Structure formats: C-alpha cells, structure tokens
Amino acid sequence: MALEWNERMIQKLRQFYEGETLPATMLHVADDHDSVIQLRENAGAITLDQCFELYTKKTMLDGDNTYYCGKCKDHVRGTKVLGVWKPADVLIIQLKRFGMQKFYGRHMPEKLTESVEFPLDGLDIGPYVADHAAAKAQPEKFIYDLFGVVNHMGHASFGHYTASIRKGEWINNWACTDPGDPKEAAKAASEGVGKAPAACLWEEFDDGKVREIDAESVVSSRAYILFYRRRGSPSC
C-alpha cells in the first residue's frame, strides 16, 4: 500500500491543529511496494498485462514472512509464485478498486480510480499459466474475449453499479456478429474465424434503463469486474 500526502491535505491538518506541531504518527514515511514503484514509472496507463505480470511475479518470503520447514525444523526464506493452473471456459477478473488509507489515526476505506486498459478481444493468458509447456503446445486454448463488465461509480462507502454487455450472437468459435445482419452471420459461420471483432455493439444496463454504447466506452476507470470467455468453449 502506498500512502501519499499532498500539500493541500497537510495544510488542512495544520489548520485543524491550529499551528501546533503535527503528531509524529500523523505523517509518517512508508516504503512503497515494488509493484507500486513500477506502475508509477510507467509513462502510459496501467494495462491488464502489467497486472498479470505483477500478480505472477516471484515474491521473496523473508523477515516475518518466512515459512517453517518441516525438514530442517526452522523458519527459512523462500519464494512465492502465483499463476493460472488451468484455463476455464469463463475467466472472471476482479480489479482492485477498494483499499484503506490512514487518516487522523484511523483506517478509512478509499476508492481506487486508476484506469486499467484491458482488451475487448484476444486476451492471451498463456504467459501467466503455471504449465508453460501446455501454453506453448496449444496457445489457442488460452485466448479470451470479453463479453461483460461490472462498473462501479462513487466512493468506497457508497456507489452505484452498472453492467456493460456485448450485444450480438456468438457463432462457432466465439465470432461476434450483429443478429440483424444475416450476411455477416453467415460469413462468420462459414469461415469459423474464431475472432470477436471490436466493432461489435455493446449495451449498458443501468437499473431499468438499457442503451447501446460504443465499444471504446467499455474500457474506463469505472470497470470493476471483467468477464471473459475462452475461444472455442461450448456455447451457453
């Protein structure tokens, strides 16, 4: 967790304490996690691939995080690695949108609003699976296309949810077509391209309201939970 103080917040604290010396526990220095430093150094936006890379990165377990070895009867250092063991037909990714911040000596919930860029089509999780041999032998089994997003607007204490859903019929190998265009549907069925065009229409569900939206608006800082489907998986 990274804790930052800007000058505006510090001035508010000084006004609250009427010029007195701020308590030492109020403003303190914390070490940033390597993942936070890496993302800050990145000139562009955060990408879903970067999130996967950091999620599957080896982590050293030392200090208070050492583990007990039953063989040597002592706490020893080690490494922890997370990865995808087996590709599922439906992949659900939850972005970290809520955290905690310390304010006036209390931990308060906060909303994380950083934008994360994620692909509508062609998400390849092959590099992040534990079985590298399987990913290299059959790379097509690790390709996913987005079909739904849960969005959150508001703050950590309150907010509103909407859903963005891909519109169209899924034919053969996850080919997205407009059901109102029979020529396009027939072409996709005959070619079996196994590709979902980004131009496919989307709909936004907001309580009782439903409206069409552009594909470009699906990727936003409101995105909270992503729903991907593996290409070639059985139709629902």
Contact predicate 129/85, CB 8 Å: yes
Phi, psi of 25 (to 5 degrees): -80, -10
Mean pLDDT, residues 190-198: 46
pLDDT tens-digit readout, 71-85: 888 888 888 888 888
- At 205 the pLDDT is 95
Average pLDDT, integer, range 25-40 = 52
Expressed in angstroms, the distance from the first to the final Cα of the chain is 40
Torsion angles phi and psi, residue 44, rounded to 5: -95, -165
Percent of the chain at pLDDT above 70? 65
132 has a pLDDT exceeding 80? no
Are residues 163 and 148 in contact, defined by beta-carbon separation less than 8 angstroms? Answer: yes
* C-alpha span between 151 and 60 (Å, rounded): 34
Highest mean pLDDT among 63-72, 171-180, 185-194: 63-72
Q: Which range is most confident: 11-15, 41-45, 206-210?
A: 206-210
